[in-house]
């Protein structure tokens, strides 16, 4: 089995990549699919159950109920909550893209769906010369862009799409996450985003402190992503 895989990127840090990824994984599980999440690089680890771990990575594992060893779920767990390349340098760690690709290949063979969540924005550095863009290109997965719906999202979304295309990566679509409860003119902004990104959103997550219904909201987005592979096959 070779899972369909997507790289989940964001227009910036803190726009809801983890929440969207977890919701898609939970929706896949409801569909009866074997789904796995992966957070290759995470900054800002915490002491959880006696070990340093990323809360984001653990959220993905909980949503999918996967039994992936933590070292494969989150190969590079960096303690300090700063840019990955700085956190890695301070920890005397070198982030190896080839290692991440090898692990992702293993996870794809054991799943129906693999979602790989990036860190920060598209060009977030992970080394002196490499960024999240280089990782996404090496993984070779279509990219799902999470747009944080807040002031400035139009500029960030258009720049991110252009960067994804410039990197030679396939664009699978975008998902909007209402990151600001006071976001003004939402309908007008969504219409502009559709124009700038060339497509309607795969799905939208409304602002809420609760996540219990996230999987239901992301179910239509999941079906569209799964259908995209069928179109490629046929």
Beta carbons of 201 and 194 less than 8 angstroms apart: yes
Angle at 6 (CA atoms; ends 61, 221), nearest 5 degrees: 85
DSSP state for residue 32 in the 8-state scheme? T
Catalytic hit among 17, 39, 89, 106: 39
| 99 included as an active-site residue | no
- From the list 206, 233, 188, the residue with the least C-alpha distance to 20 is 206
d(CA 173, CA 226): 12
d(CA 63, CA 69): 15
Alpha helices in 37-150 (DSSP H): 55-64, 70-73, 84-90, 97-109, 132-139
DSSP per residue over 181-224, as a string?
A: TT-SSHHHHHHHHHHHHTS--SEEE---S--TTHHHHHHHHHHH
Where is 46: in which H helix or E strand? strand 46-48
Beta carbons of 121 and 13 less than 8 angstroms apart: yes
d(CA 205, CA 91): 36
Which of the residues are catalytic? 39
């Amino acid at each position: 089995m070779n899972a369909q895989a997507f790289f989940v990127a964001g227009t910036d840090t803190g726009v809801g990549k983890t929440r969207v990824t977890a919701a898609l994984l939970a929706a896949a599980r409801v569909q009866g699919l074997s789904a796995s999440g992966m957070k290759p690089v995470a900054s800002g680890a915490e002491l959880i159950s006696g070990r340093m771990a990323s809360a984001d990575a653990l959220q993905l594992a909980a949503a999918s109920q996967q039994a992936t060893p933590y070292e494969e779920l989150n190969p590079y767990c960096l303690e300090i909550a700063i840019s990955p390349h700085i956190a890695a340098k301070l920890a005397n760690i070198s982030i190896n893209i080839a290692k991440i690709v090898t692990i992702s290949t293993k996870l794809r063979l054991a799943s129906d769906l693999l979602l790989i969540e990036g860190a920060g924005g598209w060009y977030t550095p992970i080394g002196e010369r490499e960024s999240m863009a280089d990782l996404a290109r090496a993984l070779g997965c279509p990219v799902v862009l999470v747009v944080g719906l807040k002031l400035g999202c139009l500029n960030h979304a258009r720049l991110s799409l252009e960067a994804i295309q410039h990197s030679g990566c396939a664009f699978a679509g975008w998902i909007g996450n209402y990151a600001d409860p006071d976001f003004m003119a939402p309908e007008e902004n969504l219409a502009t985003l559709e124009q700038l990104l060339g497509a309607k959103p795969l799905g939208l997550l409304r602002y809420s402190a609760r996540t219990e219904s996230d999987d239901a909201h992301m179910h239509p987005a999941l079906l569209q992503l799964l259908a995209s592979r069928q179109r490629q096959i046929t």
